[in-house]
Amino acid sequence: MITIANPIYDVVFKYLMDDERVARIILSALLKKNIVKVEMRPHEYAGDKNASIALYRIDFGATVLNADGTEHLILIELQKTWLETETLRFRQYLGLQYENPRNMKEESRGAYALPMVAVYLLGHRVGDIEEPVVYIQHEVSDYDGRPVTKGVPDPFIDSLTHESIIVQIPLLRGRLKETDKTHREGKSRLDMLLSIFDQTQKDENDHKVLKIDDSLYEGDVDMEHVVGRLVKAAASMEMRRKINIEEEFMSAIEHRDAEILTRDYELAQKTVQLKEKSVQLEEKSVQLEEKSAQLEEKSAQLEEKSAQLKEKSAQLEEKNTQLKEQSAQLEEQSAQLEEQSAQLEEQSAQLEEQSAQLEEQSAMLRKSVQMLHKASLSAEAIATQLGMDVEKVRHLLAT
């Protein structure tokens, strides 16, 4: 077992990639291409002390040897972070590469951008993806999805699109094991290289270094060269000092990020609570509006019933008035009838009195006629003497 510096730290990773041979070995394994030359382009440490993340970035100009013996130049944008960060920052750095005129090349058909490959070494996982290494490659196809091969690759297409490689360092667990010594031939070059990033090999007492089994790399001159450089880094006091500074810096960022995440979580909870209260208030508002509408409807119904009652009351009052008028008319008619009855009774009494007088007069007249008849006067003589009709005299004499 040997001790190597932990390449998860930016200063160690930079020291490792500063070696042109190491850079060629690692990039060749990642890209699965034969890279014969690597040029580290001007770059900057993208760890902003005023930001909530730290991101290390290196740009390479890599010469790739094709199968037919020709060479072509590509741009490799390598970004490494050991904290979760926003994809926006990755896109911003890629945008800078697209804008940089140094990344253009002249061809017979005009100026085109160098083909670019973006490599992301992440100290965190990407969603639920379980593969430690993911390749994102563009494909050229027609409308029906059939691959287009004629004329491809083309500088125009390569200038506007790029391929990506994502390495999830937390998933690099046990890439090589002691039990694999006899089967090392079955391991890929990338498996061998990524094993030096396996954080399960951290020293229990010092996370700045890893404890690895160097026998796994015996006979592999490239891996021995990579591991040897990390052994030198682990033995360097200056490197240890730089790692301590970086760790303090990252610890401060992690602490601040934790506070920010805590505040964000609390704000998110309060936001959720406010939304829930808002929903409840809206529900209550809707219920109140419904009750208000029901009350308004009931009020309208009551008003309608009240209007109907008023109308019926007016009709009853009108009928009552009519009845009173009819009653007054009947009373007046009754009074008139009583008056007429009294008049009739008076007239009847008068008639009875007149009848009695007439009967009395008739009786006296009969007596007079009978007395004159007894005096031997004839009916004609009696009629002449009394001034009566002779027939009436005869009638009286006959009764």
Q: What pLDDT sits at residue 175?
A: 62
Two structure tokens written together for 312? 């019926």
Each residue's pLDDT tens digit, 310-360 = 999 999 999 999 999 999 999 999 999 999 989 999 998 899 888 888 888
Asked if residues 115 and 66 have their Cβ atoms less than 8 Å apart, the reply is no
383 band by pLDDT with thresholds 50, 70 and 90: confident
Distance in angstroms (rounded) separating the CA atoms of residues 396 and 376: 16
- Residue 246 pLDDT > 70: yes
What is the predicted pLDDT for the residue at 330?
A: 92
Q: What is the pLDDT of residues 31-78, one digit of tens each?
A: 888 999 988 876 544 444 434 345 677 888 888 898 888 888 888 888
pLDDT of residue 316: 92
pLDDT of amino acid 46: 42
As a whole number of angstroms, the distance between CA 262 and CA 75 comes to 39
Of 65-74, 104-113, 300-309, 363-372, give the lowest mean pLDDT range. Answer: 104-113
325: left (phi over 0), alpha (psi -120 to 50) or beta: alpha
Give 78's contacts (C-beta < 8 A, 6+ positions apart): 17, 27, 57, 58, 59, 60, 119, 121
Q: CA 193 to CA 197: how far, in whole Å? A: 8
pLDDT digits (tens, 9 = 90+) for 164-188: 888 888 888 766 654 455 445 556 7
pLDDT above 90 (res 112): no
Distance of alpha carbon 85 from alpha carbon 91, whole angstroms: 12
What pLDDT does residue 312 have?
Answer: 92
pLDDT for res 305: 92
Instruction: Decide if pLDDT at 127 tops 80.
Output: yes
